[in-house]
Structures are given as structure tokens and as C-alpha cells.
Amino acid sequence: MITIIKNGTIITAGDTIGADILIENGLISAIGKDFPEAGADEVIDASGMYIMPGGIDPHTHLDMPFGGTVSSDDFFTGHKAAAFGGTTCHIDFAIQQKGHSMIDAIKTWKKKAEGKAAIDYSFHVALTDPVESSVEEIPNLLTEGVSSLKIFMAYKGAFQVDDTTFMKAMKKSAAHGLTTMVHAENGDAIALLTEELLKAGNTAMGYHNVAHSAAIEAEATARAVSFVEITNAPLYIVHIACKDGLEAVRNGRRKGLPVMGETCVQYTYLTDQHIATADFEGAKYICSPPPKSKDDQIAVWEALRDNTVQTVATDHCPFWFDGTKEGRTPGKELGKESWAKVPNGVPGIEDRLPVMWHLGVNSGKISPNRFVEITSTNPAKIFGLYPQKGTISVGAHADLVIFDPEKEHTISAETHHMNVDYNCYEGMTVKGWPKQVMVRGKTLVKDGEWLGAQGYGEFIPRKSFNKIV
Ligand code: DUC
Ligand code: ZN
Ligand code: ZN
């Protein structure tokens, strides 16, 4: 199969060039001008369009048992939605069950995706059983194509592990070329405050932000950065949402420590005021860590600009607002009586690229090249997918977004493709929209039409060639 994309403007993390792309059998085989069209199966005229590497979402939770229910997008619905929004690859989390190995978890998550996947995917694994055998298992993860390991400093009694296990895991991972990742919130403090708040009858949604305050996130983030200094092991801190946490990462990087940071699209737009909305509406925005003050949001944008954070993800973990309807899994209504029972998570896998383009590029906060870098290139580099993915170069997968910078679209749950009954960006009119989206040369979405297929998406094994960026 030979495809030519002509007359477009190619945007990568490093360059903006007017050139045509030749695609052969799913790979980019040449970048140049005036390729002979005779013999091509398809010629796409991309006049007026930008051509960018497909989005790579480094942090998602599809089909994840959590909070007494399961996230509402599986590996087909989530993938279809991702493709409509220009994301062509993502890295999900296989979560270890206590008493079981991490290899078991990876196998379980691979099964969830098999036959359903429509875009390409890979897995991180979360170490949740803080026993010696878990740490000993770390080198074996590479045989399953997993080169990144997640630790939770939060979710006491469930996923949280102690600092000793955390540091041992960092050292073992570093010694074998794996990158450690961490959810940085102080789980002990959250558990204590939750108990006190509930005892005092403070059950309204806004109290989620009291139990998950900026100090609680910043303390854990600073501690995690100190662990990098102590172990000299690389660390990627996921979903950073507060100014003081970002400052801890910035200081660590200034010292030359191998620490990296991720933020999520919701933290560039939502604030604690969304969660404090009356009449249970705020439950829609409950996630951990939660979006915080306007000041924190400004700090997130600053960190995206000055490279304190290198990636923007989604932490996509959707739950129905009303999960009582026929055919739905239980959702946010589980927490009608108390914020503490609301399943934590927000949808966003479909919205990430258009919202970041609109809020970031259209406003002049970030350049189109920086947009590509934080949404695709850096996730690929950090997690060992580059240069197969994350850029437009000869030999790379033809995972491409043909993006119409002039097209306006109003985001709504009525028209989105995520399997969830609300959207965090409801009513936002964005300028710039994916016109055509390809994974390995196959068009999955064209002019709003779904042309993809369940089972087309491939598991991408990753070796220990992760980079620090
Ligand atoms: N936070 C969420 O809000 N959902 C999934 C897991 C997490 O850490
Ligand atoms: Zn997390
Ligand atoms: Zn997460």
C-alpha cells in the first residue's frame, strides 16, 4: 500500500517544513517533493493542513477496576475516541494485585486489549504489593515489553507502598534500564484528613480538595525528588497539578537530577471551583490529584513552557456521571452521599490534543512545535517508543494527524466518542481539529467518519532505551 500526502506543512518537535510524505506499507519511506503519483494507492491533498505525529498519551486507565467499579472505556471505545481526537498510541497501566506477580498483571491487561485495540498501545506496570519478590521481579518485566514501573505514594490500604519499597524499586529499575514513575500525594495525610472530615460531617464534593490539598501533593513530590537525589535513579512524576510540586521538580532539574514531570490537560483548564460546584455536579471533576487554584493552573502553563514538565497526558479514567442507566457500570453516583466515595477520575483521551492546541497554541502560550513535543515526541522518547513513534522521519510508523487549523468544533458529550455521559470541556469551541488520523498508514478517522477496526491496534513492546529529556 502506497500513500502520498502532498501540499501540507509538516510540524515536528524540531521543525516546520513544507514537504510531502511517502508512506509504504505503514512506514514513512520518504519526505520530499513531487513524488510520482502513478502507482500510489492514495494521494491525499493536505493543502492548508498541518501534518503532525499522532498523539501519544503516556497515562491512561482503560477498563480499570477502581473505586468499587470499573472505568467506562474499554480498549475499543477508548481507542476509537482517542483516534477521533488525534491520539494514535497510548501507554496504560497494568496494576499488580496483592499476592500476584506484576507479570500476571501485564498478562491480564494484555488480554483486556486483545481483539479490541484500534490504535497502538503499550503498558507500564504498577507495583502495589510491597514485598521483596515484587522488587526482585523488576528485571523480568522487560521480557514482557514493559520498561516503566509505577509506584503510588497515595491510596493507603490499596495501592500505596512504603518509602523503602519505593527507593528499592527505583534502584532496581535504574540498574536494569527501567524508568520509575510515581503518583505523588501523601497517602497517610489523605487518609487522616478524610477520616476527620467525614467525622465532622463534611461530605460535600469540595472537601475532596481539602483532603487532597496542594500541600499534600507538594510534600510527596518534594520527597520523591529527594529520593532521586538519594538514589540517583531516574524518576517521572505523573499528573503534577500544583505550583509547589512543580517548584520541587524545577529545583531538582536545576540540580541536574534525572527527574521528569507530567501534567494533564485537565489541570490546564479546570480548577477547584469546578469540584466545588453545587448539586453533585462537582463529582464530575473529582480526580486525584484534583485540579487546584487558578494560581496552580498558571504554574502548570509556566512549567509546560519552561520544560519543568515534559509531557501532557490525560490520566483518562472515565466514570459515568449517572451509572444507574441500563448497560452502564456504576459511576460517580456511588458518591452521592460523600465525596470520599466518588470514583476518582476524569475522561479526556479524545480531548487532549484539540484542547491543548486551542488553549496552548491559539493563545500563544506554546508553539506548534512545543505542542508536538509535549503531546507526542517526549512521551515517545521517555518511554522508549522513539523514533519508531513520536516524530515524522524516514523509517517511522506513519502515525499521523492531518490537522485543520481553521476548523472550529464545539466539544460536547452529545458528540464525543468516549463511553461516558459528560465532558469536562462541554461547550468549549476549539479552533483546530483533526481532519484525518492514521495509524501505521491506515486511516482510522476521516472528516468525522470512523474507518478503523477493532483488533487493528498492536501492542508495542518497549526495551530499556528510555531517555531522560
Ligand atoms: N487518579 C485518578 O483520578 N484516577 C485514576 C488513578 C489516579 O491516580
Ligand atoms: Zn495517579
Ligand atoms: Zn493515573
Which one of the ligands is nearest to 332 CA?
1
226-253, pLDDT tens digit by residue? 999 999 999 999 999 999 999 999 999 9
Closest atom of ligand 1 to 287 CA is 3
Closest atom of ligand 1 to 152 CA is 8
**Residue 179: CATH number of its domain:** 3.20.20.140
Answer yes or no: is 62 within a domain. yes
Torsion of Cα atoms, 381 then 384 then 387 then 389, to 10°: -90
Answer yes or no: is 70 within a domain. yes
Alpha carbon of 344 to ligand 1 centroid (Å):
5
115-167, pLDDT tens digit by residue? 999 999 999 999 999 999 999 999 999 999 999 999 999 999 999 999 999 99
Distance CA 96, CA 273 (A): 34
The answer on pLDDT for 466 being more than 90 is no
DSSP category for residue 82: H
The answer on pLDDT for 465 being more than 90 is no
Spell 162-174 as b/e; 16+ CB within 10 A means b.
Answer: eeebbbbbbbbbb
Q: Which of 63, 288, 332 to mutate to test the pocket of ligand 1 (most atoms within 8 A of CB)?
A: 288
Degrees (nearest 5) of the Cα angle 217, 150, 370?
70
The answer on pLDDT for 433 being more than 90 is yes
For residue 64, the enclosing domain spans 55-377
Answer yes or no: is 11 within a domain. no
Q: Which residue reads 475532596 in cell numbers?
A: 208
Q: Which residue reads 457500570 in cell numbers?
A: 329
> Are the CB atoms for 331 and 321 separated by under 8 Å?
yes
- 234 cis-preceded (ω within 30 degrees of 0): no
Alpha carbon of 442 to ligand 3 centroid (Å):
29
What residues pack around ion ligand 3 (CB closer than 5 A)? 315
Answer yes or no: is 304 within a domain. yes
- Confidence (pTM): 0.98
What amino acid is encoded at 53 in this protein? P
Alpha carbon of 150 to ligand 2 centroid (Å):
9
Cell numbers for 255, please give them: 540540580
- The residue length of the chain stands at 469
> Are the CB atoms for 286 and 234 separated by under 8 Å?
no
Per DSSP, the three-state class of 74 is coil
Residues in the ligand 1 pocket, defined by CB under 6 Å: 61, 183, 287-288, 315, 317, 344-345
Question: How much is the pLDDT for 318?
Answer: 98
Answer yes or no: is 282 within a domain. yes
Question: How much is the pLDDT for 279?
Answer: 85
Q: If you take atom 5 of ligand 1, which residue's CA is the nearest one? A: 345
Which one of the ligands is nearest to 346 CA?
1
Cα–Cα nearest to 106, from 147, 59, 152? 147
Answer yes or no: is 383 within a domain. no
Within 10 A of 202 (CB to CB), how many other CB atoms are there? Answer: 17
84-104, pLDDT tens digit by residue? 999 999 999 999 999 999 999
319-331, pLDDT tens digit by residue? 999 999 999 999 9
The answer on pLDDT for 172 being more than 90 is yes
Domain count, the chain: 1
The answer on pLDDT for 278 being more than 90 is no
User: Phi, psi at residue 369, to the nearest 5°?
Assistant: -70, -40
Answer yes or no: is 216 within a domain. yes
Q: Which of 57, 208, 344, 424 to mutate to test the pocket of ligand 1 (most atoms within 8 A of CB)?
A: 344
Answer yes or no: is 202 within a domain. yes
Calculate the average pLDDT of the chain. 98
Which one of the ligands is nearest to 345 CA?
1
